[in-house]
A = this chain, B = another copy of it.
Amino acid sequence: MPKTILDIVKECDNFIHPTEDPIKYTQSLQTYYVFRLPDCPTPLGYIPASIIPQIIWSPEWWCINHTSKTVTLTAPGPAPARTQRLAQTLHDTRAARSLALLSGWRNETFPVYGPRGDVLLEIERAASALFGVVTYGVQLLCYVRCRDGGLALWIARRAAAKQTYAGMLDCTAAGGLAARMRPVEGVVREAAEEASLAAETVRARVRATGCVSYFHVRGADAGGETGLLQPEVEYTYEMELGEGEEPRPGDGEVAEFRLWGIEEVVAALRRGEFKPNSAVVVVDFLVRHGVVTPENERDYVEIVARLHRRLEFPVCTVPMG
């Protein structure tokens, strides 16, 4: 039985939403500790209560309150000092081998923003889901206008050797957005590395089309502990390619590229062949290009709203200054 498009969106945005059931939402939050900084009024992430005993918290720079269920990084700023303390904690925890997630260490940091757009600290990429902080990525879909007026998409198949979602379908290029990288530079870099598209071509012709945002609870297929939270923002980009312009695998990430007719894309989506957060970017494209319409999709309004979830954490696009 093929999935509905709403099923696909729900698999990605699968953390309970407060308007769905405010009481259940509040109860659900009780099973998490809130990650905070002393001088920041808003929560920065949620940590499952079951994970708390498995992290090696140094009392010198952490305050764990089991009544208010808060984890506060008390180390004073500036950001690099906090980043260093957090990294120390993660290194200690990794050395204890208590958390499978940390075996995927990347040596790449993601920024955590405050409510005024300032970077409060940076966190090792592999650990971001441990603290449930917002992470940012870029996704590019290259498309071709067919002679009959229809659309075709350049879809990547993930390498069989990838640690996660091996062999599944993906957008043309995508990647996480490391600290201090502007989204457009991120997409230019990923397009060059993963799809061998010339940086100057992408920079000149790529179009920013918005972002999708969702709140994901990690399952077994993501690797590491299940139940970790992953609120995500993916900046979406599209670029029209002409005849003779073709993405080619650049690094080991992609097994192959193939041009898929739009109906083939929809069928593969509904068979669940896309990586979940690439699937929602494809859905967003189908809505934007009038393939999915209010008339052919009963859940249109809910789909569009859930593709753009308002998160309870500070979100920002580019560091201040």
CB distance from A92 to the nearest CB of B (A): 33
- If A184-B294, A235-B294, A310-B306 touch, whether A300 touches B288 (CB-CB below 8 Å) is no
Segment touching B, from A15-23, A73-81, A104-112: A15-23
CA A209 – CA B292 in complex, angstroms? 9
A210→B298 contact, CB < 8 A: no
Chain B neighbourhood of A235, CB < 8 A: 294
Closest to A307 in B: B308
Contact mask for chain A residues 232-265; partner B; CB cutoff 8 A; 1 contact, 0 none: 0101000000000000000000000000000000
Chain B neighbourhood of A294, CB < 8 A: 182-184, 208, 211, 235, 317-318
A288→B18 contact, CB < 8 A: no
Q: Does A290 interact with chain B (Cβ within 8 Å)?
A: yes
Closest to A26 in B: B22
Interface residues in A19-61 (C-beta closer than 8 Å to B)? 19, 22, 25-26
CA A99 – CA B273 in complex, angstroms? 55
Q: How large is the interface on A (under 10, 10 to 19, 20 to 34, 35 or more residues)?
A: 35 or more
CB distance from A216 to the nearest CB of B (A): 15
Interface residues in A276-321 (C-beta closer than 8 Å to B)? 287-290, 293-295, 297-298, 300-302, 304-312, 315-318
Interface-central residue, A19, A210, A288, by most chain B CB under 10 Å:
A210
Chain B neighbourhood of A304, CB < 8 A: 210-211, 213, 308
Which of B18, B289, B309, B317 is in CB contact (< 8 Å) with A300? B317
Interface-central residue, A208, A289, A316, by most chain B CB under 10 Å:
A208
Interface-central residue, A183, A287, A305, by most chain B CB under 10 Å:
A305
Q: Does A207 interact with chain B (Cβ within 8 Å)?
A: yes
Q: Does A224 interact with chain B (Cβ within 8 Å)?
A: no
Q: Does A272 interact with chain B (Cβ within 8 Å)?
A: no
Closest to A302 in B: B315
Chain B neighbourhood of A208, CB < 8 A: 287, 290, 293-294
A288→B19 contact, CB < 8 A: no
A301→B213 contact, CB < 8 A: yes
Residues of A within 8 A of B (CB): 17-19, 22, 25-26, 117, 182-184, 207-211, 213, 233, 235, 287-290, 293-295, 297-298, 300-302, 304-312, 315-318
